[in-house]
Amino acid sequence: MCGIAGKLSLDGPVDRALVEAMCATIRHRGPDSHGAFTDDGVGLGVQRLRVIDLATGDQPIYNEDESVVIVLNGEIYNYRELREGLERRGHRFRTQGDTEVIVHLYEELGDRCVEPLRGMFAFALWDREARRLLLARDRIGKKPLFYAQDGATLWFASEPRAILADPQAPRGVDYDAIDCFLEFSYVPDPLSAFAGLQKLPPAHTMTWQGAPAEPRRYWKLDRSLPPETDDEREWPELIRDRLVEATRLRLRSDVPVGAFLSGGVDSSAIVAAMARTSAGRIRTFSIGFDVGEYDETHHARTVAEMYDTDHEEIRVEPRAVELLPRLVWHYGEPFADPSAVPSFYLAEATRRHVTVALSGDGGDESFAGYERYAVHDVAHRLRRLGRPGAALLAAVGSSDSGLRPRRAAAWLAAALRQPPAEQYRHTMANFKGDFRERLYEPELLAAVGGPRGATADRLFADALAGASAQSLTERLIELDVATYLPGDLLVKMDIASMANSLEVRSPLLDHVLMETAARLPLHASLRRGHSKGVLREAVRDWLPGSVLERPKMGFRVPVDEWLRGELRDLPADVLLDPRSTSRGLFRTAEVERLIADHRDRRTDNGLRIWALVQLELWFRTYVDAAHPAPLVLNAA
């Protein structure tokens, strides 16, 4: 696991000291070693976290005659199998690690070298003879890769801060990206909050040979294919076998490995699979809150006791004055998923004991785990009720109710009033069109194309149009795999973990397992409103009924209560400060109303306020400051 950065220029040499300075800004991603390669007009750099091949695996890595050089962020889990095949075909290896297989695959396959790889990765490969750069990102988007191009110069890096270390790199704010952030709480691919930077989308490669080529997709999850077997009784065993295989591959490490354990089905299944594939006692880590309805530690403890793991629980309190500036600095872009707070604390505590942790990320997208899938599926079936059905459901409850049945009824009512394609957007949006119209100053509203947001509209429509499934619910699952998963969930964990020099591996995001799950019909997972049916059956003999049958809780965070309790002064201190109001982006009266309505419990605006706070702190850290650095918030 590493951080990478580099620069290419047709106008002259690239200074090695600049490449090293770019890498120094992301040293936390790989504090164990650093390396750089410079040649005429090209510089590649890397910060390495040593996980596999501690002795000889430092980067950059070369092929036999050093005509191909690579820097890699990530892990190639099937490197041993790939190496065996390459050695049989005459390739000679200098290291015992995973990175070297890519340069030899490139010798054989060119840009298609990504296709045999099973892992998480973002890499930059320089072909010295062709003077050609290949950038690549893994299929699901576990590892990030930013790039910028200005005339005859190209920059790339794992985090935007590394690119901005070069004074010549483009700067500025992309307000379309900011608008997308306010709607979805993250900046979606390929946008960046910085006007001159972009993200290489997941499952894409891009080449640069004097000029950048358009990114090329090399893989896509296909839900239109038939199951591997027609016998439904064999599906749980098929999933179980894929899960065990994916877990076994991710236990390959020369440093200690542990696991995150929430007590939900996904993370519990990973721990159970580890117990079947690893030698020795497993280390597990859980996080809890003092707000009871958000705390799952007792469920995690049940699984830990069942498998006799060496278990540790971390309690989280809302110490935002201490943590928020660090989060903003590390995330590099506005990011408003509040579960980044416990994720950061969990990674920080876990790193004290292990260097690698397995997580349960990915189960919801492969096995229809989110409550909204069931809601939208029911809405689709109830659409024939028309206005009477919508009115009945609206009367059952309001969207601000904390009760799940009433909240689901409100979602259903809203969905029935909208075209099917708008259901996802209504469910996921933080600042919907009416909120943005009241909040934005007229100049900002015009700049982003109106209250719906022209760019958000286009990205949403493109992602939905690219779905392969026929049913609406399955198309929404594909939409999440293309947007929410890489844009929110994977960014959250990548930054939280790498900020603490911890590598996190996710067996349920193994692309072979995901392909197997995608070929199963929806009813294999979603049965009469209950999610993850086939996964639960696959691990039924591994886990207690109290874990298997409990409803999904997710990594929920009591942000509403935090902003009425310990953090009640934070919104006004940040958002009504002259530095914020003078930006001319938002109507001050509307910001005041959001804060007052939340404080006085008229409306739950916690997530909206959290997003605005994150945005303002990002402006102060990355736009106002000449050199980005963590802020110091006034604790008063």
Annotated catalytic residues are 2
Q: Which of 356, 347, 350 is nearest to 274 (CA)?
A: 356
What contacts 90, CB < 8 A, 6 or more positions away?
Answer: none
Question: What value does the CA radius of gyration of the chain take, rounded to a whole number of Å?
Answer: 24
CA–CA separation, 48 and 56 (whole Å): 12
CA–CA separation, 102 and 134 (whole Å): 12
| Terminal-to-terminal C-alpha distance of the chain | 39
Q: At what angle do helices 235-250 and 265-277 cross, to 10 degrees?
A: 70
Q: At what angle do helices 79-88 and 100-109 cross, to 10 degrees?
A: 50
CA–CA separation, 615 and 617 (whole Å): 5
Q: Which of 56, 55, 568 is nearest to 318 (CA)?
A: 568
Backbone angles phi and psi of 3, in degrees to 5: -125, 140
Q: Which of 46, 51, 27 is nearest to 119 (CA)?
A: 51
User: Positive or negative CA dihedral for 332, 335, 341, 346?
Assistant: negative
Please state, as a whole number, how many other Cβ atoms lie within 10 Å of the Cβ of residue 399: 15
- Which residues make beta-bridge pairs with 168? none
Q: Which of 59, 65, 84, 80 is nearest to 6 (CA)?
A: 59
- Which residues make beta-bridge pairs with 314? 287
Q: Across 354-429, where does the E strand assignment appear?
A: 356-358
Q: What does DSSP say about strands 146-150 and 197-199: parallel, antiparallel, or unpaired?
A: antiparallel
Q: At what angle do helices 606-618 and 588-599 cross, to 10 degrees?
A: 130
Long-range contact set of residues 596-604: C-beta below 8 Å, sequence gap at least 24: 598/560, 598/563, 598/564, 598/571, 599/563, 599/564, 599/568, 601/564, 603/400, 604/400, 604/560
Q: Is 592 helix (H, G, I), strand (E, B) or coil?
A: helix
| Helix and strand totals (H; E) in the chain | 29, 17
CB of 335 closer than 8 Å to CB of 491: yes
User: Positive or negative CA dihedral for 356, 360, 366, 371?
Assistant: negative
Query: Distances from the Cα of 317 to the Cαs of 79, 352, 365, in angstroms?
Result: 41, 19, 29
CA–CA separation, 543 and 556 (whole Å): 23
CB of 35 closer than 8 Å to CB of 45: yes
Q: Is 388 helix (H, G, I), strand (E, B) or coil?
A: helix
